[in-house]
Structure 1
């Protein structure tokens, strides 16, 4: 990979972390894939979810980002949003079909391990709206 390509990729990962939704969306419109991964296997969606950027999460989902794409540690975007207790991002991910019981640890396990028991009803609520 060329140095300028690496610099651009890093800039876009930073945009996902910082919630620079319009910038990231412009590059996606120009053909950048939502499936690009960083050194840890994180996608733009994982980074946006971990950094509580719900608007960016919603945009990435609308652009076809894979809601179940796990990083190198087996963490999925919903697990990241759950760890941060970001209900807005969680709702976007659940509405897009994220499985609260997928991954290691799963979002449900993460909620139980890190004081997010109050978030568990969101998982059950999402399952009932799917049925």
Structure 2
């Protein structure tokens, strides 16, 4: 079996910048990179996708841009989190709604979205989830 080629420091830096952009909400930069060929479902060593990071860090414009470009709402991180679980945990109604409208399931991964909302007292998000169940 052949070994994959090692990435150069510049390539690794570029990939890391994608995750940083998702965390920081640099929507234009990230959207441009995806439009130029960076995989929209790029995943880091913890299994976090760009969509998970943008959802967790509460950047609705970035979430919208990734969804428009085909980001998979059902990707599960190594911790069992989807983008929906990230948004629910943070109590972000706008991102939760966006993800539900994009077809995110509430029961994907190791956690059910409604259980997370209950556990962390995210009442408004729980009501939104129940209305979309």
Alignment TM-score, normalising by the size of structure 2: 0.91
Of 17, 36, 41 in structure 1, the residue corresponding to residue 23 of structure 2 is: 17
Of 9, 30, 36 in structure 1, the residue corresponding to residue 36 of structure 2 is: 30
Q: Is 2:58 aligned against 1:52?
A: yes
Indicate the SS of the match to 2:47. Answer: coil
Unaligned stretches of 5+ in structure 2?
1-6
Q: Is 2:78 aligned against 1:72?
A: yes
What's the C-alpha RMSD, in Å, of the aligned pairs? 1.1
Unaligned stretches of 5+ in structure 1?
none
Task: Quote the residue 1:62 is aligned against.
Answer: 68
Structure 1: distance between partners of 2:17 and 2:125: 32
| Superposition misfits of 4+ residues, deviation over 6 angstroms | none
Moved more, 62-71 or 117-126: 117-126
Larger radius of gyration: 2
Task: Quote the residue 2:111 is aligned against.
Answer: 105
